[in-house]
Amino acid sequence: MTDIELWALIFTVLTFSLYIGIAIRTRVKDTEGFYVAGHGVPAVANGA
């Protein structure tokens, strides 16, 4: 494995780790969060 391939692999693993970490941290934890984004989105922005 060349240096470039190694750095590409490291970058890819770190990037995916970051994405997975963000997804786990920001996931919805109760059913209220699924309904209109927990009431955090105004009606106009929601299409009403």
Residue 21 lies in a domain: yes
31 found inside a domain: yes
pLDDT at residue 15 in the model:
98
What is the reported pLDDT for 38?
Answer: 64
* More confident of the two residues 25 and 33: 25
Q: Which two tokens stand for residue 33?
A: 């969060």
The number of folded domains in the chain is 1
Length of the chain equals: 48
What is the model's pTM? 0.59
Residue 7 placed within a domain: yes
- Written as six digits, the tokens of 34 are 């699924």
Kindly state whether residue 45 falls inside one of the protein's structural domains.
no
Domain hosting residue 12, numbered range: 3-39
pLDDT higher than threshold 80 for residue 8? yes
The pLDDT, as a whole number, for residue 31 is 76
8 found inside a domain: yes
pLDDT in tens, 30-48: 777 777 666 777 778 777 6
Question: d(Cα 43, Cα 37) in Å, to the nearest integer?
Answer: 11
**E strands, 1-48, where?**
none
